[in-house]
């Protein structure tokens, strides 16, 4: 069960020029909690992720408000201070391995560079092998010598997760991490997130439009619509008795397995 102590607390607004995308969006994620952020394409989900990572300005956006990680305010911190946080206390899993990984670099190089970004010491023997095994990837020389561009989409997504959790962050932000995967690989990645949450106590913000996956993995669901959180609650309660009209439309659109005729 999730703890009540907050890992992340925020109240933010975000805009691109004169266009406001997020308006006073408020939230919190507790220790060992998986919170799902749900919304249609263009609703501001990825803007939310980049805002919380303090990376939105690199996409031409601007954020104001408060973002507190483990009790410390992130707004106002310098780029250098944020680099010490990102990858160490906050892990980030983007949607596409193809755009996030340098396809010319070998797996062992990506692992080594991610380690050196936050630790000058040589990693203890077996560190990378255990990390790869934890995300169900092979740790042998054949895999380590592969270039990122040679990996399957599922392998690339698991590698992104491995890189994101290498330094055991308190918070993992996963932005549509299963949308490009087949059903079997999706199920494997969802199980992996649950294991990380239960085994390591990692708090997870799981951003998706897939309600079935969200119902399976999350402790709490936040519905984002037109830049605002319009409904929040445990998935069973929210999907069984939605209160907001937009949530009702989402639930009605959920696919259902047909029952056999009696």
- Is the residue at 213 inside a domain? yes
- Is the residue at 91 inside a domain? yes
pLDDT of residue 199: 86
Q: How many domains does the chain have?
A: 1
* Residue 157 to residue 195: CA distance in whole angstroms: 16
pLDDT of residue 257: 45
Mean pLDDT along residues 164-193? 88
- Is the residue at 238 inside a domain? yes
- Is the residue at 258 inside a domain? no
Q: Provide, rounded to the nearest whole percent, the portion of the chain with pLDDT above 90.
A: 70
Kindly list the strands in the beta sheet with 90-93, ordered across the sheet, starting from the edge strand earlier in the chain: 90-93, 171-175, 203-208, 34-38, 220-225, 228-233
- Is the residue at 169 inside a domain? yes
* Residue 81 to residue 74: CA distance in whole angstroms: 9
User: Model pTM?
Assistant: 0.91
pLDDT tens digits along 89-119: 999 998 888 888 999 999 999 999 999 999 8
Residue 4 reports pLDDT greater than 70: no
CA 156 to chain centre: 15
- Is the residue at 257 inside a domain? no
CATH code of 101's domain: 3.40.50.300
Which range of residues forms the domain containing residue 43? 6-252
Mean pLDDT along residues 77-89? 93
Provide the 3-class DSSP secondary structure of residue 146.
coil
pLDDT of residue 55: 95
C-alpha count within 13 angstroms, C-beta hemisphere, residue 241: 3
pLDDT tens digits along 210-249: 888 888 899 999 999 999 999 999 999 998 999 999 999 9
- Is the residue at 260 inside a domain? no
Mean pLDDT along residues 72-91? 94
């Amino acid at each position: 069960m999730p703890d009540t102590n907050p890992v992340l607390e925020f109240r933010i607004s975000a805009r691109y020029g004169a266009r406001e995308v997020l308006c006073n969006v408020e939230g919190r994620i507790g220790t060992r909690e998986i919170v799902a952020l749900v919304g249609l394409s263009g609703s501001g989900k990825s803007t939310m992720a980049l805002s919380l990572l303090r990376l939105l300005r690199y996409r031409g956006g601007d954020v104001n408000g408060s973002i507190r990680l483990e009790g410390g305010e992130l707004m106002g911190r310098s780029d250098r201070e944020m680099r010490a946080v990102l990858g160490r206390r906050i892990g980030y899993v983007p949607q596409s391995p193809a755009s996030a990984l340098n396809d010319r670099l070998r797996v062992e190089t990506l692992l080594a560079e991610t380690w050196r970004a936050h630790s000058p010491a040589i990693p203890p023997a077996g560190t990378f092998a255990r990390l790869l095994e934890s995300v169900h990837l092979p740790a042998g020389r054949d895999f380590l010598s592969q270039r990122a561009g040679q990996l399957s989409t599922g392998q690339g997504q698991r590698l992104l997760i491995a890189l994101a959790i290498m330094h055991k962050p308190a918070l993992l932000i996963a932005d549509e991490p299963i949308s490009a995967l087949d059903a079997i690989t999706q199920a494997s990645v969802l199980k992996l997130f649950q294991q990380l949450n239960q085994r390591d106590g990692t708090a997870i913000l799981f951003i998706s439009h897939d309600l079935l996956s969200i119902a399976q993995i999350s402790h709490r669901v936040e519905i984002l619509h037109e830049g605002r959180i319009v409904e929040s609650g445990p998935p069973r309660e929210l999907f069984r008795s939605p209160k907001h009209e937009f949530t009702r439309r989402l639930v009605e659109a959920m696919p259902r397995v047909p029952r056999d005729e009696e």
